[in-house]
Every structure is written in C-alpha cells, then in structure tokens.
Structure 1
Amino acid sequence: MEVLKQNTGNIVSMLGKSIKEDNSGSLVVVKLQVLLCYGLYNNLELLEHYGFLLPRNPNDNVHIGLPDAGEFGLDTINPPMQIPGAACVEISGHPSFSLLAALRLRACHSSLRRAKGHVALSGEQVSVESDILAYKWLEKKCKSLLESLPTKLEDDLVLQKRLIPVQSFTALEDLALSEEVTSEAKEVQEFLRACTSVGEGGAADEKYGVGDKDFQLERWKLALRWRIGYKEILHRCARLCSKKILHLGG
C-alpha cells in the first residue's frame, strides 16, 4: 500500500494512524480515531450487512408495495406514472413523499389525474375524496402487515424486557425452566431447540459451542429489536392514517 507523506511535520498518514519521526529518527505510531460512513441504510440493511442496528435510526422505514387503481374501485385506464423515490413509511409513521403522491394519483379518477396530477407531484392534495381513499388504503395495509406477522408487538416487548438480564446462553436455559407457558416462553423454547440438532439415536447433539451459542443469542436479541422497530413504525402509521381520515371527514 502506498504511503502518502505530508509536507508538514514529517507525518505519514496511513489507515487512520499517524507515523511520526522522533528526535532519534525512529518511527512512532500515534493512534487516531477512524470514522466510517455507512450511508443511508435502514435498520434491516444495517443488520443484514453489518450486524448492528441503530435506535431511532432516522433512515429506518418500512417498504410498502403500491396498489393499482383497481384496488380503489376506480378505472385502470391511463395508469398513474411512476414516482421516483422510496415508497415507504418513515420512522415517524408518515408516508414518504413518493408513497403519498403515488397513492393520491391512484386514488383519483383518470380524468382528474390528467388535470391535477401535477398537484400530487408537488406534494399537495388532489381532492379530499382521494386523500380519504389513500389514507384508508394505507391504514388497512399497515394493519394487514401487522396481522400477517407471527407475533404481536406487545408480546415482543414483553420478551425483550425478559431478555434484558440474560447475558449468556446458560442464563437463557435457566430462564426457560422458570417460565410459564406463554407465547414468549414458547419462542424461547424454539430458539433453544434451534441451537441443537437431533442425532440418529434421537439424542440431542450440540449444534453450537458455548461461545457460538452466546453469539447466536446476541443475534436473536438484535433480530428482536429490529422487528419491534418494524412493528412500531406500522402502528404509528396506522394511528396517523386514522387521525387523517377523521380530520378529512371520512
């Protein structure tokens, strides 16, 4: 690797370290802080690619697949144009600019779409009726996504609270023995079973070593934190849509 020499102070910088020459001519390494920008990733992308996530990540979001005009009971002639940008619900629960504009265009008649489509593209309301349809669809979509998940937000929060003092796989096994039969306890049991495999003789063989099991436990905790954040975004959006519909008189 090429080492770049700076003109001032005989300092050579390489990989976040400064190499200086002392009075005797020897090289002395001075450690410096290294900063790394990961980019505009949501928590799922951070978890998948880098193995961590951020609390209240401003870039966190939930992708929403767009409907066609037929889902609003309208004609599908002259389908609405594609809106650039991410069609998603942001961490605050608000639909992104692209998502709301796309829903507004799909929730109005094609004739109105041609006449006032530019209004939606500027972030404004096309009509009260189309806004009511758009927010009703989005509220239903968020609730549908939540209902399709195998666990509820309330159960996840209880499980997360119970896992806070658990710092090792052995401690998790002790917790499982003391737990009552609840949905959270069942998930703990499923995780414990996933860390073992059944041998040919029917006996459970160790699938991971002790250190590996502790690592799997931390990964599971991170996954739990992510799905809590995912569900919280959907709940915020559903509440916001309900308020918008009420305000619009729908």
Structure 2
Amino acid sequence: MNLSSEAEEGGLKMLLKWAAEHGVEVSESYSSLGLGHSLSVSSFPGAGGRGVAALRPITKGDLLLKVPKSALITTRSLLSRDETLSVALKPHPSLSPTQVLTVCLLYEINKGKASPWHPYFLHLPRSYSILAAFGELESQALQVDYAVWAAQKAITKAKYEWKQASALMKELKLKPPLLSFRAWIWATGTISSRTLHVPWDEAGCLCPVGDLFNYAAPTEESDSFEDVDNWKNEYAKDDLDMHHSQRLTDGGYEEDAAAYCFYAKKNYNVGEQVLLSYGTYTNLELLEHYGFLLEDNPNEKVFIPLELDMHSLSCWPKESLYIHQNGRPSFALMCALRLWATPPYQRKSIGHLAYSGCQISKGNEICVMKWIAKKCDAVLKEMPTAVEEDKSLVHLIDKMEEYENPWEWVKEASAAFGGEYGNDNILKAACVVGRDEEPSTALVRTKMLIDRWKLAVQWRLVYKTVVARCLSYCTDIINSLSVQ
C-alpha cells in the first residue's frame, strides 16, 4: 500500500527522521516509512486513511511502539523550556488545564522552526471536524434535538474558553492569525483528538508518531438472540455500570521505561491495519472529541423522546435509557417502560420484577413494544429527510472528489436537492465562505464546510437506521407474542 500523496510521504519521512533523533525506534531507512521492526505507515482508503500496518505477524501483547518522555508534548515540558511562558501563566490561575495546554501549543507553534517539535507540527492536520468547528448550518443538519444541542453547546464552550484565554495569548505576543477563534478551534481539535493520558497532567500529552494509529471501537462478545425465552438473559448482558468511566487504552505511560508504550490487543497478520481502542464512545461523542464517526459502532446509543412520567418513575439515569446499535432497547429502558406500563396500584407489589429485568406479563410486554414502535415510527416521520434521501445525499457528497472545481459540485448539489441543500443554504454558505478570500483559500474552506456537513448527514443517517431497526425489532416481538 503506497501513500497517494508525495508531499504527505515527504512529510512523513521528515517526521520519522525527527522521531529517530528523539529516541523513537524507526527503520534505518526512512524511505520505508517503518516504525521499529513490526510496523509501517501506510494508507487504508475507506478505513481511516493514513494508518499503521503490520510488517510481520503480531501477537496480542507485543510491544508495538515506545515514545520517550522527552518527545512528548505536555504543559510541563513546554513550561520547562520557556521561562517567558511560565511567568506569563502565573497571573491566570482560572484557566483549565486544557486551556493552558491549548495556549502553550499555540505559543510553541508561534516559534516556527525554532520549536524542537516543528517537524511534528507540520505533520498535523490543517483542520478538524469536531463539533466545536461546526457552524449553524452543519449543527442544524444533525436534525435530532439532542445532537443539535450538543453541537451548539460545544461551539459556545469553545468561544467562552477562547475569550477567557485571549488576554494571555495577547500578552505572549502571538501572531494575529494564532489569536483568532479559528486557530483556537484548530488547537482545541488537536488536543481533543490526539492527546493521550499521562498521570501528571489532566490535559494529557501529545505523542508524536504515537498518534499515527487509527481508532477501533472496543467491543465485548455477546450472543445473538432469536426467541422470546432469551430476552431476559440477553438484556442482563447490557453494560449498566454508568459510573465506570475508565478509558480503555492499548498502552500508557510507563515510569520504568520513561516512555509512552503501545501494545497489541489482538493478533495481526502482515499488511493488516494495526488499530488502537482508546475509549468506548458513541458516534456523537466521537464527533465531539475526534471529528469522525463509525457507520457500524458497537458502542452507539440512540435516544428517543420519552414521557416525563417515565423519567420520574425510573431510578435509572437518563443516559442509560437508549436503543442499542442493533435496534434493541437497553436493559434500563425496558425496565423503565415495563414499570410505566404497569397499573399504578400494582407497581409497588411487582416493581421488583421490572427492576430485575423480568418480563411482567405478555400483555405488559406487548404494550411496551407497541409504545416503542409507535414512538420510533413517529420519530422517523417527523424527520425532515428520510433514510433513502440521506443515503443519496452522502453518495452525492462523495462524488465531490471527482470534481477538480468544488464550485461545480456545489451547483450540481444545489440543483439536485432542495431544502437544506438548495441555494438558500449550502450554496449560500459556500459563497459566504469564499467572500473576500483568495480562490484557493475559499475552495479549501468550502471543502471543509462540506466535509463537516457530510459528517452531520452521516450521523443522522446512523440515528435513523438504528431507530428503524428498533421499529422492526419491536414489530417482530409483538407478532411473536401475539401468536403464543
């Protein structure tokens, strides 16, 4: 597998050369883009793009990569190298650890080639599609209220934190472009999507070369179920520990080695992409923190509107009342709805059955399934676009790569779709993006806008697909119970 861009390959060679000089084990020949004796940087179209491939068979537990502490970028490492930065920070104790690291990153970028991490900075993405980077158009394109709210909240939070830190950045005499909100979003995206946990800094660390791995969602093996008798056992397998927030990682900082060490969590064959599982995230969380999502995410959770008294009757946290990626209601949601569907005078005497995950009665179960099915059907009908429309739109957006001039694509998209895709929205937004800018800059920003828009469409498509699966599942259960 060869990297498609010569410029990207040249940048990678520079990065690997820099990494070798800073104690990271890479191949003797940088032209091979190798990391140690087991890995090589490669391209995986449709599977994360640039990533890391196995050069030899890898066994679960093998050490994949070791990045020395001296190569890591942390607030402490940056402050220890620059007294001006250290002194300037002292009058600003209200800034959070993440805000401090964001300012420190921009300050280090401001040094240009004088920064020892300059080759690494050159290799970082020029933009991120995290929720904080969304505009109003992309936010509304999510269509689902709680997702739109999450995007708006992320944008508001980013603006607040930027304004809070602006005085410090001006004191540090950052170049005007680095003082902008756009630069802040870029630095925020870098830190949000690329930092790894270290015990001495809540904000984490940037790990050059260690961030070349792509993401794999951690999963737990579970048995499928096909009949009513298996429901209770299957629901009992749900992960209900809402207080368990430990991040799943494939490595960590090791004091004995004074390095960040990465390990294989599974076996890999030659040429296979080596992935890291750095946490269990829903697609909305992936979008918020990392700027991407997974079409088939085993950790996806879809929420549908519930009646107010359902929440008041249930002792389960709201975040546990969801639909699984496979369309099955969560254990907690089923418990809450079974109790809700029970007559008030019976709830005290048989409530323990609902909380234990037991089916209360056939009639109760049918009532619950009918309510969920009706709600799912209503949710789908209330959406501005249907599943097939969203699929067509994603396909059309993918065709943008075939156009040398994105403006031609924008015109075709506007002609093909009305509503949010028409002249009053996407085309208008694209034109606003390009106003008073150099054509090349305008095209880049238009592409970024459409990339974010595509992510919003993909997110809502996954949402609707899961809701449709739930509708189908509930209908099947109703039919199965009705003939018993």
Tell me which interval the TM-score lies in, with the shorter structure as reference length. 0.7 to 0.9
Question: Is 1:56 matched with 2:296?
Answer: yes
**Aligned partner (choices 140, 157, 160) of residue 391 of structure 2:** 157
Equivalence for 1:121? 355
Question: Is 1:43 matched with 2:283?
Answer: yes
Question: Is 1:145 matched with 2:352?
Answer: no
> TM-score under structure 1 normalisation?
0.73
Equivalence for 1:14? 69
Please give the alpha-carbon distance, in whole angstroms, between the structure 1 residues aligned to 2:70 and 2:297: 28
Structure 1 135/172 Cα, relative in aligned 2: closer, same or farther at 3 Å? Answer: farther
Give percent identity, aligned residues only: 33
- 1:100-125 deviation line (CA, Å, top 9, x unaligned): 11000000112332222111112110
Cα offset for 1:163? 2.1
Please give the alpha-carbon distance, in whole angstroms, between the structure 2 residues aligned to 1:47 and 1:139: 28
Cα offset for 1:143? 1.5
Structure 1 15/211 Cα, relative in aligned 2: closer, same or farther at 3 Å? Answer: farther
Question: Is 1:96 matched with 2:151?
Answer: no
Counterpart amino acid of 1:192?
A: L
**Aligned partner (choices 425, 450, 467) of residue 217 of structure 1:** 450
Cα offset for 1:60? 0.9
Structure 1 192/15 Cα, relative in aligned 2: closer, same or farther at 3 Å? Answer: farther
Equivalence for 2:165? none
SS at structure 2 position matched to 1:93: coil
- 1:8-54 deviation line (CA, Å, top 9, x unaligned): xxx9931777xxxxxxxxxxxxx864567553321012112221112
**Aligned partner (choices 418, 421, 430) of residue 195 of structure 1:** 430
Question: Is 1:205 matched with 2:445?
Answer: no
Cα offset for 1:86? 0.9
Structure 1 220/68 Cα, relative in aligned 2: closer, same or farther at 3 Å? Answer: closer
> TM-score under structure 2 normalisation?
0.40
> Moved runs in structure 1, 4+ residues, more than 6 A?
none
Deviates more, 1:79-88 or 1:42-51: 79-88
Structure 1 16/82 Cα, relative in aligned 2: closer, same or farther at 3 Å? Answer: farther
Aligned 8 A contact 1:153 1:231 in 2: yes
- 1:200-243 deviation line (CA, Å, top 9, x unaligned): xxxx9358722211111211111111111011000000111111
Equivalence for 2:195? none
Question: Is 1:110 matched with 2:338?
Answer: no
Q: Which segments of 5 or more consecutive residues in structure 1 lack a partner in the other structure?
A: 1-10, 18-30, 72-78, 199-203
Equivalence for 1:133? 367
Counterpart amino acid of 1:221?
A: K
- Structure exhibiting the larger radius of gyration computed from Cα positions: 1
Deviates more, 1:184-193 or 1:59-68: 184-193
Structure 1 242/14 Cα, relative in aligned 2: closer, same or farther at 3 Å? Answer: same
Cα offset for 1:191? 1.2
Please give the alpha-carbon distance, in whole angstroms, between the structure 2 residues aligned to 1:40 and 1:216: 27
Structure with more helix by fraction: 2
Equivalence for 1:82? 315
Equivalence for 1:28? none
Structure 1 164/137 Cα, relative in aligned 2: closer, same or farther at 3 Å? Answer: same
Aligned 8 A contact 2:415 2:422 in 1: no
**Aligned partner (choices 396, 407, 430) of residue 173 of structure 1:** 407
Please give the alpha-carbon distance, in whole angstroms, between the structure 2 residues aligned to 1:180 and 1:54: 27
Please give the alpha-carbon distance, in whole angstroms, between the structure 1 residues aligned to 2:427 and 2:378: 30
Aligned 8 A contact 1:66 1:103 in 2: no
Please give the alpha-carbon distance, in whole angstroms, between the structure 1 residues aligned to 2:443 and 2:279: 35
Deviates more, 1:151-160 or 1:39-48: 39-48
Structure 1 105/16 Cα, relative in aligned 2: closer, same or farther at 3 Å? Answer: farther
CA RMSD, 1 decimal: 3.2
Equivalence for 2:477? 244
**Count of paired positions:** 214
Counterpart amino acid of 1:41?
A: Y
Please give the alpha-carbon distance, in whole angstroms, between the structure 2 residues aligned to 1:180 and 1:195: 11
Counterpart amino acid of 2:474?
A: C
Counterpart amino acid of 2:409?
A: L
